[in-house]
Structure 1
Amino acid sequence: MKLSYNRLSHQGLRFITNYLKSDSRITSVELGANQFTNEGALYISECLALNSTITSIYLDNNKFGKEGAQLIFESLKSNSTITEIDFRKNNIGNELAEFVSECLKVNSSITSIDLGDNKMDQQGAQIIAECLKTNSKITKMTLLGNNFRDEGLKFLSESLKSNSTLKSIILAGNSINKEGAQILKECEKLNPKISISIGAISK
């Protein structure tokens, strides 16, 4: 179901999510760039709590607030079919790292997650790093366009050294300089199974 960039109203979203609560055929739902707010997040979270066939959901580039983000990731705690979620460009901040971390502690199905461009900094990186130390499901994580800098990368590199499940992590656009790039290069040496994308190196 491809509904991104459709200027959907919350009324329209409510109709769609009510339908999806009992649908048993649709496996992918794209709702990006529709300007949904916390109201939309409520409808989506209610749907995810009941639907058992959707495996991928794209919620990028909306206007969910912190409350909306929390509702969505709270509902994913009990969802056992979603394997991929795109939540980039929602500008939530470090609280998003907390919501995601708590979700991934109990969710058993998510393997790919995109949290790019969400205004997280070193604090957010530290929270995600702690989560990755124990998570054994995530194989791909996208964190590009945040503001982790070297301090945040140090937290992440420590967790990546021992994570045996993650295969790809994208960190481009995080103001990575030569020191940060070296930290991640050493991490790849210690854990050769993981691919770390850093993009251009800042001066």
Structure 2
Amino acid sequence: MGSTSTISLYSNPKSSLRSHPFPNTTASFYHSHNAPRPNTVPFNGRKRCFRFRRLVVAVASGAEGGPRRSTTGRRVYRQSQSESALTSAPVKQIASFVVPAVVFVAGTFVLWKLVEKILMPKPQRPSSGENKPPAEAAEGIKWSVAPGTNLLSGFTAKLFRESKQTLNEFAKELRSFRSVDMSGRNFGDEGLFFLAESLGYNQTAEEVSFAANGITAAGIKAFDGVLQSNIALHTLNLSGNPIGDEGVKDSMHADRVVPFFECLCDILVNNSGIQKLQLNSIDLGDEGTKAIAELLKQNSSLRHLELNNNMIEYSGFTGLAEALLENNTLRSLHLNGNYGGALGANALAKGLEGNKSLRELHLHGNSIGDEGVRALMSGLSSHKGKIAVLDLGNNSISAKGAFHVAEYIKNSKSVLWLNLYMNDIGDEV
């Protein structure tokens, strides 16, 4: 009596069994052994997508009743195992590429974290002796600084204190001495505003020099209200400061720009104390010179005016000549190192004809030439005053121009000092 048994073998869903027609093999087995065929489902070769397949292995009994193994079933089982191995081969190939890539990425990440930990500085923890920030600061409280709080660094604050102490010493000098020289201290406009206040409240200093201190046109406003009340100051030196003809804003009219010298002249016009004003080497041009000329027309206390080494040309000389016709208090006029030329000397000569007060005239280095000297000597001959000091050095004067000077000297009884050096006048003159 024969018996049959079935063994369920799982295979990959993607496997193809067309090369091994299991139903045909099984049918031939039953046909050769005359065994009854079990109820099996015929194989459908067209159906590819299935969860699993069932392989049938039949075992028949021998003549003696013992089981007899089917060689055909063993061959079918081996074929199914070989197909399973072929199916897993692509998976192993993919894993051979994916696994090293994952290992590489993980190693790179670990290495980067290690380098970051070594290179990045560790935050410093406050020691037990240091003051720790309050808990409120950690909670997000916003801090603010009140206006006027000193946030300067230690070094800057030290310099600020030293500068303030130095200015206090300067102010003490202004209150203690009659003649104070503060030239080259480089205190600027801010320092001048601080020191000018000392001039307004004391009547001690008579001569003050603020030369070469970096004072600009804006700093001149510091004298507003100070020089009007101070009548003790007689000499004010502002030479060597980069003032120029630059304008400053009018405090009464914000949209109006007042030229520097117009501002200064407004301050000095009613001052009765300043007698000597030194404005040498301040980049003064014709516009500023015209403003000073207007001051000379109204001021009756100024005796000595220095405008050396500036940029005054013909127009500025003309303005000063017009002022000399109206001014009867100026004694000394210094115009050395400017650009008057022959035309400037000619214009100045006309002003000298109607002036009675001028005693000193300094025109060194103006390149007035022979024609300028001739016109100037003609004006001085008609001068109603008495010129005692005349400086005509370095003016490109030749022997022809020097003869005009000689004629003036013959007729003048007031000249005490004459300078003609650095001119090509020759031995004959």
Higher relative contact order (CA 8 A, sep 6+): 1
Q: Look up the SS of the partner of 2:261 in the other structure.
A: helix
Q: Look up the SS of the partner of 2:227 in the other structure.
A: helix
Structure 2 Cα separation of the partners of residues 190 and 112 of structure 1? 22
Provide, for residues 85-131 of structure 1, a one-character-per-residue CA deviation record: whole Å limited to 9, x for no partner: 00111112111222111112211100110112221111111111011
Moved more, 9-18 or 140-149: 9-18
**1:105 equivalent in structure 2:** 297
- What amino acid is aligned across from residue 188 of structure 2 in structure 1? S
Could you say which structure has the larger radius of gyration? Answer: 2
**1:202 equivalent in structure 2:** 396
Which of 110, 134, 145 lines up with 2:326 in the alignment? 134
Q: Look up the SS of the partner of 1:131 in the other structure.
A: helix
**1:14 equivalent in structure 2:** 193
- What amino acid is aligned across from residue 18 of structure 1 in structure 2? E
Q: Please give the residue correspondences for 1:32-181 in structure 2 after superposition, counting only pairs within 5 Å.
A: 32-66=211-245, 67=247, 68-181=260-373
Q: Look up the SS of the partner of 2:274 in the other structure.
A: coil
Change (3 A) 1:178 1:107: same
Which stretches in structure 1 are left out of the alignment for 5+ residues? none
8 Å contact from structure 1 (residues 108, 137) kept in 2: yes
Provide, for residues 35-78 of structure 1, a one-character-per-residue CA deviation record: whole Å limited to 9, x for no partner: 11122211134422332210110011101142233322220001
Structure 2 Cα separation of the partners of residues 93 and 9 of structure 1? 22
Structure 2 Cα separation of the partners of residues 141 and 181 of structure 1? 17
TM-score, normalization: structure 1?
0.93
Identity %: 27
Structure 2 Cα separation of the partners of residues 139 and 91 of structure 1? 24
Quote how far apart the aligned CAs of 1:183 are.
Answer: 2.1
Structure 1 Cα separation of the partners of residues 191 and 289 of structure 2? 29
Moved more, 45-54 or 88-97: 45-54
Quote how far apart the aligned CAs of 1:146 are.
Answer: 1.1
8 Å contact from structure 2 (residues 244, 288) kept in 1: no
Moved more, 79-88 or 32-41: 32-41
**1:193 equivalent in structure 2:** 386
- What amino acid is aligned across from residue 137 of structure 1 in structure 2? T
8 Å contact from structure 2 (residues 182, 210) kept in 1: yes
Structure 1 Cα separation of the partners of residues 380 and 300 of structure 2? 26
8 Å contact from structure 2 (residues 261, 292) kept in 1: no
TM-score, normalization: structure 2?
0.45
- What amino acid is aligned across from residue 393 of structure 2 in structure 1? G
- What amino acid is aligned across from residue 31 of structure 1 in structure 2? F
**2:207 equivalent in structure 1:** 28
Q: Look up the SS of the partner of 2:346 in the other structure.
A: helix
- What amino acid is aligned across from residue 125 of structure 1 in structure 2? F
Structure 2 Cα separation of the partners of residues 28 and 147 of structure 1? 30
Moved more, 59-68 or 105-114: 59-68
**2:147 equivalent in structure 1:** none
**2:182 equivalent in structure 1:** 3
Aligned residue pair count: 203
- What amino acid is aligned across from residue 391 of structure 2 in structure 1? S
8 Å contact from structure 2 (residues 317, 344) kept in 1: yes
8 Å contact from structure 1 (residues 41, 69) kept in 2: no
Structure 2 Cα separation of the partners of residues 199 and 98 of structure 1? 25
Structure 1 Cα separation of the partners of residues 382 and 216 of structure 2? 42
Runs (4+) of structure 1 moved beyond 6 Å? Answer: none
8 Å contact from structure 1 (residues 188, 196) kept in 2: no
Provide, for residues 23-45 of structure 1, a one-character-per-residue CA deviation record: whole Å limited to 9, x for no partner: 11111110011111122211134
Change (3 A) 1:183 1:196: farther
Quote how far apart the aligned CAs of 1:6 are.
Answer: 1.2
Quote how far apart the aligned CAs of 1:164 are.
Answer: 1.1
Structure 2 Cα separation of the partners of residues 129 and 110 of structure 1? 16
Which stretches in structure 2 are left out of the alignment for 5+ residues? 1-179, 248-259, 398-429
Moved more, 142-151 or 188-197: 188-197
